[in-house]
Each structure stands twice: as structure tokens, then as C-alpha cells.
Structure 1
Amino acid sequence: MANFADWRDRMLRAVWRQGDDLPEEVSDWMSELYEEIGAISEENFCELWTSRTFSMARAAFQVVKDSAEEETRKKITGEEYCYIDYMIDPETGPVGVVRIKSEEVSTPDWEEILGTMAEGVQEFIMSHYRIVWPICETHRSGLHVGYFHGLSVWNCREGATGGHVVKAINPATCLQEGV
């Protein structure tokens, strides 16, 4: 019977993540999974990894979509918009890749998925409506996805310091004052 560390290493090799820094959220999920159902097979683990990633992507898409629609007063719906989907291609990896527009993610980490969904929605708004979203109110320029202390954020690349964090991508997330 394998111990958790051996099983974890084997599962990370199965999803082609060995050597990567694993987000704490994903590591905690793997630990909980192991405690709950034990040393499952690589095939079953890859299915759970993909299902979790896709489920989280749908939730993250809703967060970003709601924020974008509120700020732009434009709908992020319709036949012309390709919602998130996923595919598993044995030539590119054992787990599914979630896609939204030209953006892809394959790790069940909330902040990485949220950032990917934000980039996809941003790409849609720019190509479909020909408007820039979101915008830094101070510099009147478009924002870019970034990560700050493990949170996905909207960054402005303007200003004397070469850029600054404007806000969290998830409106429910509060950032420290002075950021």
C-alpha cells in the first residue's frame, strides 16, 4: 500500500506536473481526496482532476461574466460566444484542458482558473464589442490579469512605478489597503 507522499508524486507525474510548484489549494485537495478514498488509480485521478478543473472554470466564468456585464452593460451571451469547454487530447496530456476563447487552463487552482476566465472574457469583449474592459480609472488604460499574494488581480501597467494592482478579479475578494 502506497503512502500519501508516494501516491501524490505518482499522481502529479500522471498529470504532468512533477517539479512544478503546486498551489496550496490543489495540494490540500489531493490530501483530502487521499484521506477520503485512498490511493485511487492514475486514470481515476486524472478524471477527477479534469472534472474539478472544469467545474471550477464554470464557477469562475460566472464570477467574471457577472462583473463584466455589470461594468460594461454588455451581455456575455449568445451564439457568437463560445462558452468554456474542455477536451482531452492524449497527445498533449492525460488531463483535460479547459478553454475559453484562446485561453487555456488545466490545473484545478481557483486563482489560476479565475485569471484564465478573466482573460477569455476580456478577449471576447474586445473582439465582439470592440471595447476595452476593464479600465484603470486613474490612467484610462486597459488592465491586465496578474497575481498578487496568490490572488488573481487586474493590473494597470501605467504610472510612475511601472504599474499597480487596481482590484481583485473576483469582486468578493478584498485586497489590503495601499495595494
Structure 2
Amino acid sequence: MSELYGELGDISEPEFCESWTARTFCMARSAFEMVVRSAEEETGEAAAGDEFCYIDYLRDPDLGPVGVVRIKSAEVSTPDWVDVLGAVAEGVQEFMMSHHRMVWPICGDHGLGLHVGYFHEAAVWKCTGGTAEGHVVRAIDPAVHL
């Protein structure tokens, strides 16, 4: 991000931060809607509430202006859709655990809670059961077919 800001030197720091954060926030909202829909369909529980907090941006003294969106303890500060989706999925997963005291999602084969991972440039739910490396259960985005 600091490289991009350096290339756009004509834009003011506050304007850059606002633009960066708006873009990240827009992606995070889209990802949030997708992951929440999946969580609610699979668990029958509401997957949103006051526990979700969005922060406009934080300023990192070493990197310059940094736009950050926070979902529970997951920080979203990347322009990459796959990374945003992974961070949001972790935030929704954390919400389900803390608010409903339930593990979501769960591997149908091993009965274990899944973890966010990345496979072939896609955010995925991975299970640590089975082989030493575990296995990919499915893409987080239902439109992505692995």
C-alpha cells in the first residue's frame, strides 16, 4: 500500500486513506453478506450483531496511511478480494464462537471445525483431519468451484 501511495503522490494523505478504506470496506461488506448468509443457512443462527465493528482507518507510522476495516479481531487491510474474504470469514467464525458458543463450519467427514486457508488463489475452508496437511472442504465463496 505504501508503494501505491508513493505512486499517487499528488493525492493528499487523507483523500488516499478515505479512498483506500472505502474500497476495502465495500469489499468487506460484500464478503460479510456472503459469509453471513452461509453461516445462517448452515446453523440456523443469526450471524450478525453489534459485536461487528468497522473502523475507518488507522495510520501506521512506518507505512504511512493504512486503511483498515476490523471485523471482530480480524483486520482487513488488503486490496485483494481473496484476502478480504478470508479475513471476513474468520471474523464471522469468531462471532459464531463467541456469541452462539458454536463451532462453524464443521467438516462433515471428521467432525472438526474448519479453518480459513488459501488454495489455487481462492479462500477456502480447510480441515486438519485426515492427512498431515489436512484437506480443503470447500471454497468460502459458493460461486468458486475448486
TM-score range, shorter chain: 0.7 to 0.9
Secondary structure of 1:142's aligned partner: coil
Q: Label 1:95 to 1:125 Cα distance change in 2 as closer, same or farther (>3 A).
A: same
Q: Indicate the structure whose relative CO is greater, using CA pairs within 8 Å and at least 6 residues apart.
A: 2
- Asked whether the equivalents of residues 54 and 86 of structure 1 are also in contact (C-alpha less than 8 Å), the reply is no
**CA 1:96–1:117 in structure 2 vs 1: closer, same or farther (change >3 Å)?**
same
Note closer, same or farther for the CA distance 1:40–1:167 as it changes in structure 2 (3 Å cut): farther
Q: What's the TM-score, normalizing by structure 1? A: 0.72
Residues 135 and 53 of structure 1, relative CA distance in 2, 3 Å threshold? same
Root mean square deviation of aligned Cα: 2.3
After the TM superposition, list the runs of 4 or more consecutive aligned residues in structure 1 that deviate by more than 6 angstroms: none
Unaligned residue ranges in structure 1 (runs of 5+): 1-7, 15-37
The equivalent residue for 1:95 is: 66
Partners of 2:45 and 2:106 in 1: CA distance: 15
Classify the secondary structure of the residue corresponding to 1:63.
helix
1:65 pairs with 23, 33, 36, which one? 36
SS at match of 1:155: strand
Counterpart for residue 107 of structure 1: 78
Which amino acid in the other structure matches residue 122 of structure 1? Q
Equivalent AA in structure 1 for residue 134 of structure 2: G
Residue type at the aligned position of 1:11? L
Q: Is the alpha carbon distance of 1:87 and 1:166 closer, same or farther for their aligned partners in structure 2, counting shifts above 3 Å?
A: same
Structure-2 change in CA distance of 1:77 and 1:10 (3 Å): closer
Corresponding position of 2:139? 168
Aligned-pair identity (%): 55
| Alignment-mate amino acid for residue 99 of structure 1 | R
Note the C-alpha offset of 1:162. Answer: 3.0
Q: TM-score when scaled to structure 2? A: 0.86
Q: Which runs of 5+ in 2 are unaligned?
A: none
Kindly state the Cα deviation for residue 158 of structure 1 after the two structures are TM-superposed: 1.0
Match of 1:143 in 2: 114
Partner of 1:82: 51
Aligned length: 143
Give 1 or 2 for the bigger CA radius of gyration. 1
Indicate the residue corresponding to 1:125 in structure 2: 96
The code of the aligned residue for 2:67 comes to: G
Counterpart position of 1:41? 11
Is contact 1:155-1:166 (8 Å) kept? Answer: yes
User: Is the contact between residue 86 and residue 98 of structure 1 (CA under 8 Å) also seen in structure 2?
Assistant: yes
The answer to whether the aligner puts 1:11 opposite 2:4 as a matched pair is: yes
